[in-house]
Every structure is written in C-alpha cells, then in structure tokens.
Chains A and B, each alone.
Chain A
Amino acid sequence: MRNWSRRGIITFAAAVLALTAADTRAQEPIRIGVLLPLTGPFTKNGTEHWEAMQIARDMINERGGVNGRKVELLVADVPSPAAAISDTERLISTQKIKITTGSGLSPLAIAVSQASERAGVFHWETTGAAEIITRRGFKYTFQVGGASRLYAQAAVNFTLEDLAKRLGKSPTDLRIALLWENRAFGKSVGDGVRDYVKTKNIKLIYDEGYDQFATDMTPIVQKLKDVKPDVLIAISFPNDAILFQRKAKELDFYVGALVGVSAGYSNPDLENSIGSVVYGIFDSDFLPKVNPKVLKPEVAQAFDEYNRRYEAKMKRPPAGHASVSFSALWALFNEVFPKAKTFEPDELRQIALSLDLPEGSLANGSGIKFTNNDWAPDLKDAGQNLRAAIGVWQWQKVNGRTEHNPVFPKSLATNEPTLVPLPAWDKR
C-alpha cells in the first residue's frame, strides 16, 4: 500500500511537471547558436554578418516572434577553425542548443557544420561556399547561400550571354582567361569555371593558379599580355587583387572586361586602394540588392526595412555577404520555423528538405530547393541550395557615388552593365 501511494505521488508529480513544462515551452524562446568570427583576421566580415542577423532577430521578435515564441541568438566568437569546433561543441553541451547558424566563410563553415553534425544538431549555413561543406554525406547541414560552383556559373554565363555581345564577338570566338588563387575557395571556383565552360564547348586560352601571398605579379601580368584575352575571370583575395590591378596598370595590360569572383573584387577596400580604375570591374557574388519586382511583396518590404536599419546603424549600405545572412535567417524564421512543432533537428531537417521555394522567395532573390542524397551531381550531396541567387554586380559610378549594381541575371538586375569594353588605363 505504501508502495502504491509513493508511486501514485510520483506519477502525479511527473504529470504536473510535464504539463507545466509544456505550458512554459510555448513561451520559451527558440534558441539558436550563432558562430561567427568577431575577432581575428576575419573580424570585419564576421561583424557585418552578426549585425544583419541581429536585425533579422529584432524584426521577427517585433512581429510577435514565431507562433508566439521569441527568437534568441547565442553568439560565440570563432576566429579560427579550431575555435569553431570547440565553441560549437561548447554551445551544444552547455547551452543545449539544437540549432546553429553562421559562419562567415568556408573554412569556419566546414568546422562548425562538422561539430554540429557530430552532435546531431541542425546547422543552417548562411555564407560558407566551398562545395565540401555539403559533400560529406551530412544529414543536418544546409548550405543556404550557394555553393562555389554557382559563382563560377554566374561568371561564365554572364561572359557568354552578355559580355560577348558587348565586345562584338560570338561566344565561341571570345578569348577567355582564368586566373585563380590556389587555396580552397579560389581552386574550388576555378575548377567550377573550367568544368562549366567545357559543357559549353569553350576552351580557355589561359588557366593558371597562383599563390595569394605572391609579392610580385609581373610574371602573371606578362603571361596575360602574351595571350591577349578579351575577358579575364579572376578569383583573388583582397591583397593579391590590389597587387594585380596595380601591376596591370604599370605594365599596361589591357583586357576588355574583368569579371572578379567574390572576396578580392567585392572587398570595399579595393576602391580605396586602386581608385577610379575600380569602375567597370564586375563581381560574381551574392547580390547586395536585387530588383524589388522579383521579390514577394512581404519579403521586399522586410528587405527594405533591413536595409534601412543596417544603414542607420553601420552608416553604409550592406554588402552582399551581410544581406545573404539576413535572407537566410529570415527564411528560417518564416519558412521553416512556422511549420515546426518540436523544433528537434530531425523535424527541422524534414521541413528544410520539403521546401520548394521559387526564386524571389528570399530577400536576396534566392529560392530554396535543397539537394537530398538522391540526385546528381553527387550522391553524397545533401543540403546544397540549388536555387541560391549568385549573380554579377558591377562597380559603377552613379551621380558621383560608388554603387554596387546588379547587372546579371536580367531578372534580378537593377542596372545595365557600363564601360564594356573597358577604356584604356589613362582614360579610366
């Protein structure tokens, strides 16, 4: 009898506990671990992502949260891949985080997603672009911002579909040169360009990797002078992009159009370093803004609000990488979370895989359709967003102000390309 009553009490207590837990759970915030480099060499990038993510959080919470639950972001600073692994593990074990996001750039994304996957945590990657991120057979990693192959394809498509015409040549006669820095990102995009032009039956007239710590660009510029390309596709980092541009001017190397890819050619410092010759350079990258007509009205309105808040706080318009972080989180809050009940990684994964959003559904013009282990190009591939919008924007001078204006694809563009072919050095 005594046993009975004790068991009864315990059952009753458990039931009460469960009920109150369920009740408080309804108001409990949805907690997300944010892994970004806020100190170290990538600080600048990291703080811009963090600003964009905080704006997304504030905006959703001011709108009453997700089904009444507020969103809470727990941020950890991850300056290096080693720190990325240990801090992701720390957030998961001490804060019981089930959802992570980040990570600013590929090497960090590779590390964070690995730690999250090991713990069975849902990882929503906003920016990391290396193909390897989603080529390791992971279950819970989703690369929303677009894989490096897409950067390569945007650069090539723009060159063949738009630049060829403006340079007065047929795409097959166009002399295209490819220059890539030989580390993870440059090599990955370089491989993408090479593979993709092959499918178009086009042969590159020059294809070479170089060390991004090179201190003298003379040999590279000299080789390019020899092959006389019409278009140069260059994947560079900030310092080597600047050295290259200066050497090109010094040795009077002329090319009709230059299509840079992200990093070095999207870096705002480029303008400070090389001055007005920056105008006319193209950059294949996340688009900092898109033609608002392609966006769903509620998304266009949210993006507008984000842009205003960002500019008010940071005193300049957001760069493409910041906007991609906002877009990805806004999609997480508005397309994934409202369908979730338990917020367990398995449930979130199912929801993510079921998403089929057309282009223009995300603030930066992207749609969402994730690969799922069962189709080409790679069966190990899961969680890669096939509809990420990577376009081409151009450094333009409009009314005396420098603008980064999207010019390709046409559906997302706000402006026409200008300065094609590029004027001679002394006229730029």
Chain B
Amino acid sequence: MLTTTGQLIVSGVLIGSIYALMSVGLTLIFGVLRIVNFAHGEFLMMAMYGAWLGTRYLGLNAYTAAIAVVPAMFLFGTIVHRLIISPSLDKPHLVVVFATMGLSILMQNVALMIMSADLWDVPPMLGGRSFTFGPFYAKPELLIGFAVSLMVTFILRWIIKTTYLGKAIRATVQDGEAAMLMGIPVPRIFLITFASGSALVGLAACTMMPLFSVFPTVGLNFVLIAFVIVVLGGMGSIEGALLGGICIGIAQSLSSYFIAPAYGQMFFFSLFLLVLIFRPSGLLGQKGTANLGINP
C-alpha cells in the first residue's frame, strides 16, 4: 500500500511538473498580461506538430527540435499579437476572448486540413521502459520534463524579479500609464511578454511530445488544466504555477486511484474551488493581484 501510494505521488509530481511547464507560458500571457488566450491549447498543438516534424524530417529528437520550435513560436506569438491581440486590447474584455476563441477553432481546422485526424508520436527513449528507484518506476522523459520545468521556473523567476525587462513587465502590469510616463515602451513590453509566453509553450511542447500523441484537438485535453493552474498558483506567480501544477498532478493521481478515475477531474476542480474560496489570491499569489490587470 505504501509503495502504491508512493508511486502515485511520484507519478503525480512528475506529471504535475509537466502541467506546470505547459502553464508557465500562460502565466505570462494570462497571469501577467491578463489576456485570456483561449488558443493556448492550439499553440501547444502547433508546437507539438513542429517538434514532431523536426524528429520526422530533420533527424532531430524532440528535445533538440526545441532549437527550431522555440524561436518559431516566439515569431508566431509576435504575429498573433500584432494581428489579433493588439487591436482588441483597448476594446471591451470580451473581444479578446472571442478573438482568441475564433483563432483556436481556426487553428484546429487548419491542422485537420494539413495533418489530418491521425495521431502522431515520436519513438520513446529506452524503448518505452523506465528507470526503477527501489520499488518506484519513472520514465526518463518524465524526469527530463521535471528538470526542464524546475529550470524554466527558476530562470523565469530570476528574469521577472531582477532584470530590467522583468521590472518593466511588472511595472507595465501594475500601472500601464505610469510605466509609460517613466519611459517604458508599454506596447513593446506587451508584445515581448506575449511572444515569450508563446515561446515557452513551444518549449513545453518539445518536452511533452515524447509523452503524448499529437492530433488536431490535443490542446483541448490540456488547456483547462493550464488555466486552473495559473489561477490556483496565484495569477502571475511563476513558482505558484509550479506548485499548482504539482498539486493538481498529485490530487488527480490520488483521487483517481482511491476514489475513481472517472472523477479525477472532479477532484481537482473541487480543490480549485476550495482554494478560491479560502485563498482567493491563489497559493502563492500576492493579495490583490486579481485587480492588477491592465484593463479596468
């Protein structure tokens, strides 16, 4: 029993760190900029296809494909921001919601047209077997995902907390007008933050490709989890996203085992509601962050 529970926690932490990695981009876009990007899952889908194409046609593996996928996603984020996000920022909040929802449907259907509904995979490392640590099993891909997730969290946290860019981002979010008066190029900060969020989705996709199949609607399986993690961790908190992801991974794993797998989602949403009721700012969120958005 102890071994089983241990395995469930190990698996929960590892898969949770993957969820966190996938949410870190959204933390920037939704948590910091307050842009509700409903196409986040489709960004992930597109980047996963990118990683898959890299392994299939360029002879890379999914991880080295990041060299191409991450900059490509940065560029894609820039384009989406220029064409869709930026024009709708000064309009009512719902405009950007509908615009990104439209983008999400468009991307799904374009993927269906080009890639068809087939599922694609990259071959697993070690032929799909895992390392054993005493009685516990862990796949190398999951361990790599965990390491990348920790690394990204610490680097991003350092950038946001200490660099000029990070300070500019925080200033922009806290008071856009004042930031502009202080000489911060607010529109450009928005653009860079959005594009960086997309690039991080690209990195997450390369880490996830060896674990999951890619197909046009794969994003739908993950997007809801990502939004929950960003809010649970505390809007805009980078280390909160990591903690939120791991909490959800463990909650899902334990509840599915001890209660029923069909209710795994129900439990993490219950956990989510409880946190919102008793700690509305999220696990590691600053009090009042919910009101810090750029748009009134």
Indicate if the CB atoms of B120 and A272 lie closer than 8 Å: yes
Give the docked Cα–Cα distance between A420 and B187 (Å): 65
Q: Which residues of B contact A219 (CB under 8 A)?
A: 8, 252-254, 256-257, 261, 264
- Of the listed stretches B29-37, B123-131, B150-158, chain A binds B123-131
Known contacts A213-B221, A250-B128; decide if A44 and B212 are in contact (CB<8 Å). no
Indicate if the CB atoms of B253 and A218 lie closer than 8 Å: yes
Give the docked Cα–Cα distance between A407 and B166 (Å): 64
- Of the listed stretches A84-92, A238-246, A254-262, A369-377, chain B binds A238-246
Size of B's binding interface in residues, CB under 8 A: 43
Nearest Cβ distance between residue A253 and chain B, in whole angstroms?
Answer: 10
Indicate if the CB atoms of B112 and A40 lie closer than 8 Å: yes
Nearest Cβ distance between residue B95 and chain A, in whole angstroms?
Answer: 27
Residues 188-221 of B contacting A (Cβ, < 8 Å)? 211-213, 215-218, 220-221
Residues 275-305 of chain A, each 1 if its beta carbon lies under 8 Å from chain B, else 0: 1010000000000000000000000000000
Which residue of A has the minimal Cβ distance to B266?
A211
Q: Which residues of A contact B215 (CB under 8 A)?
A: 239
For chains A and B in complex, what number of residue pairs have CB atoms within 8 angstroms?
A: 115
Picked from A42, A222, A251, A272, the residue with its CB within 8 Å of the CB of B257 is A222
Picked from A211, A214, A226, A267, the residue with its CB within 8 Å of the CB of B4 is A226
Indicate if the CB atoms of B216 and A41 lie closer than 8 Å: yes
Nearest Cβ distance between residue B15 and chain A, in whole angstroms?
Answer: 5
Which residue of B has the minimal Cβ distance to A269?
B119
Nearest Cβ distance between residue B179 and chain A, in whole angstroms?
Answer: 38
Q: Which residues of B contact A246 (CB under 8 A)?
A: 124, 128, 211
- Does B117 sit within 8 A of A, measured CB to CB? yes
- Does A208 sit within 8 A of B, measured CB to CB? yes
Give the docked Cα–Cα distance between A239 and B213 (Å): 7
Indicate if the CB atoms of A218 and B121 lie closer than 8 Å: no
Q: Which residues of A contact B11 (CB under 8 A)?
A: 216, 218
Q: Which residues of A contact B130 (CB under 8 A)?
A: 250-252
Indicate if the CB atoms of A215 and B15 lie closer than 8 Å: yes
Nearest Cβ distance between residue B247 and chain A, in whole angstroms?
Answer: 14
- Does B98 sit within 8 A of A, measured CB to CB? no
Q: Which residues of A contact B19 (CB under 8 A)?
A: 215
- Does B222 sit within 8 A of A, measured CB to CB? yes
Picked from B119, B137, B225, the residue with its CB within 8 Å of the CB of A239 is B119
Give the docked Cα–Cα distance between A42 and B139 (Å): 32
Q: Which residues of A contact B77 (CB under 8 A)?
A: none
Known contacts A44-B118, A216-B249, A272-B120; decide if A182 and B262 are in contact (CB<8 Å). yes
- Does A220 sit within 8 A of B, measured CB to CB? yes
- Does B116 sit within 8 A of A, measured CB to CB? yes
- Does A12 sit within 8 A of B, measured CB to CB? no
Which residue of B has the minimal Cβ distance to A276?
B127
Nearest Cβ distance between residue A184 and chain B, in whole angstroms?
Answer: 14
Known contacts A219-B253, A426-B129; decide if A211 and B213 are in contact (CB<8 Å). no
Known contacts A211-B264, A215-B221, A250-B130; decide if A44 and B137 are in contact (CB<8 Å). no
Give the docked Cα–Cα distance between A147 and B19 (Å): 39
Indicate if the CB atoms of A273 and B261 lie closer than 8 Å: no
Indicate if the CB atoms of B137 and A250 lie closer than 8 Å: yes
Q: Which residues of A contact B137 (CB under 8 A)?
A: 250-252
Picked from A220, A249, A274, the residue with its CB within 8 Å of the CB of B261 is A220
- Does B265 sit within 8 A of A, measured CB to CB? yes
Q: Which residues of B contact A222 (CB under 8 A)?
A: 4, 7-8, 257
Give the docked Cα–Cα distance between A214 and B130 (Å): 21
25 contacts between A and B (CB under 8 A): A40-B112, A41-B112, A41-B216, A44-B117, A44-B118, A209-B260, A210-B261, A210-B262, A214-B261, A215-B15, A215-B225, A216-B249, A216-B253, A218-B257, A219-B254, A220-B261, A222-B8, A226-B4, A238-B119, A239-B218, A242-B121, A249-B128, A269-B118, A273-B119, A274-B128
11 additional A-B residue pairs with CB within 8 Å, beyond A41-B112, A41-B216, A252-B137: A43-B116, A44-B117, A208-B261, A210-B256, A215-B222, A215-B225, A216-B256, A222-B257, A226-B4, A267-B119, A269-B119
